[in-house]
Amino acid sequence: MDSERTPRANELFNEALKLEPVERAAYLAEACGGDENLRADVEGLLAVQDQVRGLELSDDQATSTEVVEPVVASSSSGLPNAAFPGYEIVRKLSAGGQGVVYQAIQTSTKRKVAIKVLLDGAYASKSAERRFEREIELVASLKHPNIISIFHSGKTPDGRPFCVMDYVRGVSLNQYVRDEKLTLEDALKLFGAVCEAVNYAHQKGVIHRDLKPSNILVDSEGAPKVLDFGLAKTVGGPEQTLISMTGQVMGTLPYMSPEQAQGNPDKIDIRTDVYALGVILYEMLTGQYPYPVVGQMADVLKHIAETEPTPPSRSWKCESGVTQRSKQKRLRAGDCPIDDEVQTIVLKTLSKERARRYQSAGELVKDVKHYLAGEPIEAKRDSGWYVVRKLLYNHRHRVYLYSALGCVLSVAVILVLSQRFVRYVELPPSKATILERRMESAMEEGHYEEAMGHARSILALENPDDFLRIGWDGRIFGSDDRERNHTRQYALRTIAWAHYLEGDLDKSLSVFRELHALPYIGRILLEQGRADEALQTLAGAGNGAFVWYNRGLALQELGRFDEAVAAFRRAVSDNRNVARFPYSNWAMNIWHSYGFVAYDFPSVHREGIEISVGSLLAYAQLRGRQPTEAIETAQHVIRSANAKVCDSLLVLAMAHQHLGNTDQAQTHYDRAKVLLSTTLQTDAELSARFEEAADTLGTPGSPP
């Protein structure tokens, strides 16, 4: 498809979808005005979509493709009002593959509503009826200002299932952005509201799976409304594949994720919706799709699964994309408003690898808000220079003054110290320094015996000159006993950690005792099942997240749950200490063995501590007969997809069962089972928690 024709072709395609198939030819003949190439593009899109909608799935593959577009007018339906007691039919709004939507008036309140009816009525297949009922059930559970609400359902006298929902007079997301000529910032604010609605659905366990601009209406007040959950599924619910045995696809191709295009239902999760949001954002800003989506079905699916998206700043065109910035960042006519930060957000959202995308719609909207506030975005956290640049820009007036003063001082310092730097460059590293480097490298690569060998070589050094170090100014230091003791202490700590990581707790404990390292002595005693000794040792170990974390574990092991809750809370409040932990690969392994790491290195600090310790805190509250508090704590934890989320879901299941909320308990337990089977490795502690949760679910209202 010619990129010049793409915006117009997309617009005509969306309009043609609202018509009955027999009406489309006449519409295109008039709308295309003799432009055969444009008409061919639109007919190509319609042909692919007809393949999408024409598939009849078996019961275990049941899904739905109808689209609710309640702003498109059509002729009167002719359906008798008696079919919907309490409602007066006004007109038919739209029709899809298996459903039709009417505008109506609720006679008791004069409220405008939309009524969605299953077309096939009493003769509908069981799978179609289940799909319809599932949509009603899922949407009825969602109460959010930016999600269409369902407030009534039933069956017509001739057996047609129907549901009554809010009527929204509005336009699709893309049309609203174009019609209102939104600035980049205003478009991002609107998109952020959509992301928050999707994130809310995810937190309620609902994955939409068919997000697209026509399923997001913007009302007269500028508020977006997400609708059409016909393809939705619950997190942990039964999976339906989007590709049939014949290779046909259900869904809307341009917005499908790579895992949908590959037909792998096991990989479809909330990140599938995140990808669709990325396509929506890309199209909203540029008026284009990120890669070709017209042609043979196999080619389109291959592009979705494999073709990297064109950077939005390169595919943007002024006639189809967002063209303006806020007053503070005005552009010259024809300049692309999409800067490097926005482009980074879009491309991260569109990553083919799920692990490289934003892990939730909440993370995505957080970066959008950071950008709008002029703060560094998380998508570029791995670039230290980027963060520095952002901070310098925000404080640029002070920086100019300090830079000038710094330049003068720097010249003076360089002149004074230049001779000493020559001396520094000429002096070789000491024997101890060389052995330290080798020891650290071996630890990082997991060669623990080799690392211990280098550490023992350091301990064997006797000559004070072997510990000589060179300062930044060329000064020699380190030949005294203090420097030698410091280096040997470092070597001993390395030996202790190497034994620990090899699983030899007794040898590790022995070396830590020699070092008098109380926090780690307490941790190892705890792992050996000696909770009383561990608690006594940790009492003299001072403060810090690591110490309080292990105190909480020991207290929980001893059944002192109230004290454990207090200790875990202190661990969360003191987690700033983790930021000072040495950043190295073997340090990451150590923290991982303690259960602290929630994300990949180097994110080894605050949020990881809060999530990991939060799960333990929730469990301690549950065991201490505080189920309401346990639910509140666990709900904060399940925002992120890591191993501790499974633990918190089990706590939620047991806490709800204790309060008599049997259905909610079962839902959380089922979600935990799915998460365990798809993303986690089973360990003994988690297996025991599963058994405990299963026992609790069998006895409603029983104490944990």
Choice between 687 and 180, residue whose per-residue pLDDT is larger: 180
Residue 697 CB contacts under 8 Å (≥ 6 apart), including other chains:
653, 654, 657, 662, 665, 666, 669
Closest CA to 62 of 129, 141, 118: 129
Other CB atoms within a 10 A radius of the CB of residue 567 amount to: 26
Three-state DSSP at 537 gives: helix
What would the pLDDT profile of 228-255 be if each residue is shown by its tens digit?
887 888 875 554 444 433 333 455 788 9
Closest CA to 139 of 173, 118, 164, 159: 164
What would the pLDDT profile of 173-208 be if each residue is shown by its tens digit?
988 998 899 999 999 999 999 999 999 999 988 998
What local confidence, expressed as pLDDT, does residue 394 receive?
Answer: 58
Take residue 522 and report the two structure tokens written for it: 């307490």
Closest CA to 370 of 386, 351, 354: 386
Take residue 207 and report the two structure tokens written for it: 């994955």
Q: What confidence category does residue 72 fall into, taking pLDDT thresholds of 50, 70 and 90?
A: very low
Fold of 171-389: Transferase(Phosphotransferase); domain 1 (1.10.510)
Q: Please name the helix (run of DSSP H) or strand (run of DSSP E) that holds residue 150, with its range, or none.
A: strand 150-155
Ranges assigned E (strand) in 140-297:
150-155, 161-166, 170-172, 206-207, 216-219, 224-226, 233-234
Q: What confidence category does residue 605 fall into, taking pLDDT thresholds of 50, 70 and 90?
A: very low
What local confidence, expressed as pLDDT, does residue 186 receive?
Answer: 94
Tell me: pLDDT of 109 over 70: yes
CATH of 538-697, one of 3.40.50.11740, 3.30.160.100, 1.10.10.10, 1.25.40.10: 1.25.40.10
DSSP 249: B
DSSP states of 348-415: HHT-SSGGGS-SSHHHHHHHHHHHHTTPPPGGGTT-HHHHHHHHHHHTHHHHHHHHHHHHHHHHHHHH
Take residue 396 and report the two structure tokens written for it: 């640029």
Angstrom distances, CA of residue 294 to CA of 88, 254, 289: 42, 9, 10
Residue in the structure block whose two tokens are 């630890």: 443
Q: What confidence category does residue 59 fall into, taking pLDDT thresholds of 50, 70 and 90?
A: very low
DSSP 107: T
Whole-number Å distance between alpha carbons of 647 and 620 = 12
Cα 292–Cα 297–Cα 301 angle in degrees, nearest 5: 60
AA letter at 94: S
Mean pLDDT of 607-632: 69
Query: What are the residue ranges spanned by the domains of the chain?
Result: 6-53, 81-166, 171-389, 427-516, 538-697
Take residue 543 and report the two structure tokens written for it: 């403060």
Q: Which of 210, 273, 466, 647 is catalytic?
A: 210
Question: Same CATH fold, 538-697 and 81-166?
Answer: no
What would the pLDDT profile of 295-307 be if each residue is shown by its tens digit?
777 788 889 988 9
What would the pLDDT profile of 632-644 be if each residue is shown by its tens digit?
777 766 655 454 5
CA atoms within 13 A on the CB side of 697: 18
Whole-number Å distance between alpha carbons of 454 and 448 = 10
Among 58-62, 118-122, 217-221, 399-403, the range scoring the smallest mean pLDDT is 58-62
What local confidence, expressed as pLDDT, does residue 586 receive?
Answer: 35
Identify whether 210 is a catalytic site residue.
yes
**Residue 184 class from Cβ within 10 Å (0-12 exposed, 13-18 middle, 19+ buried)?**
buried
Take residue 634 and report the two structure tokens written for it: 């666990």
What local confidence, expressed as pLDDT, does residue 606 receive?
Answer: 46
Residues 253/52, Cβ–Cβ less than 8 Å = yes
Q: Please name the helix (run of DSSP H) or strand (run of DSSP E) that holds residue 435, with its range, or none.
A: helix 431-444
Take residue 276 and report the two structure tokens written for it: 């669709």
Q: Please name the helix (run of DSSP H) or strand (run of DSSP E) that holds residue 115, with its range, or none.
A: strand 111-118
What local confidence, expressed as pLDDT, does residue 61 receive?
Answer: 31
AA letter at 148: I
Strand partners, 106: 87, 111
- For the 81-166 domain, the top CATH level (class) is alpha beta
What would the pLDDT profile of 644-673 be if each residue is shown by its tens digit?
567 777 788 888 888 888 888 888 887 777
Q: Please name the helix (run of DSSP H) or strand (run of DSSP E) that holds residue 234, with its range, or none.
A: strand 233-234
DSSP states of 298-337: HHHHHHHHHPPPPPHHHH--TTTS--B--GGG---TT---
Largest distance between two CA atoms of the chain: 102
Backbone angles phi, psi at 94, to 5 degrees: -165, 165
Choice between 514 and 2, residue whose per-residue pLDDT is larger: 514
Closest CA to 535 of 521, 511, 551: 551
What local confidence, expressed as pLDDT, does residue 489 receive?
Answer: 86
Alpha helices in 173-269 (DSSP H): 173-179, 184-203, 258-261
CA atoms within 13 A on the CB side of 85: 4
Strand 170-172: give its sheet, edge to edge: 170-172, 216-219, 224-226
Three-state DSSP at 429 gives: coil
DSSP states of 437-467: HHHHHHHHTT-HHHHHHHHHHHHH---GGGG
* Count of all residues that appear for the chain in the document: 704
Sign for the pseudo-dihedral over CA of 489, 491, 497, 500: negative
What local confidence, expressed as pLDDT, does residue 395 receive?
Answer: 60
AA letter at 464: P
